[in-house]
Amino acid sequence: MVGFKRTDRVGDQIRGEIADILMRRVKDPRVGFVTVTAVDVTADLKHAWVHLTILQEGTQEAEAMAALVRATGFIRGELGRRLKLRFVPELSFVKDTVVDRGNRVMKLLDELHDGAESEPPGKDDREGTQSP
């Protein structure tokens, strides 16, 4: 049986701890609605990319990201106290665009569905008709 790679396990653990730190310990109000979606860790466990979704938009989103970058040292310190690792990885915060792309796809599908309902049925769409 093939198990998970260590980097996957460490990434999952870091994801959970950072989510808890953001919710309970970071007091900056600009970090409002942030969700940690994934953490990718290098093989040597020295660097981690933290993927985030930020529900604020525009300038508030940029302010939230700036606040996270500013709190990186604090977050790493908390991770060092919580995790049993020889090195606490350097953190880089990355905006996760998967949710944005999913929302765009759903919007397009809704538009297609609304457009299909507003069109009158064509000759080929009628049931029970047979071609001569």
Under 8 Å between Cβ of 39 and 50: yes
In 3-state terms, what secondary structure has residue 107?
A: helix
Residues 74-102: what's their mean pLDDT? 89
CATH 3.10.50.40, domain 6-117, yes or no: no
Position 119: which residue type? E
pLDDT on residue 111: 84
Which carries the bigger pLDDT value, residue 78 or residue 30? 78
Among 49, 36, 50, 93, smallest CA distance to 68 is for: 93
Give the pLDDT confidence of 2-41 residue by residue, as tens digits. 556 888 999 999 999 999 999 999 988 888 788 999 999 9
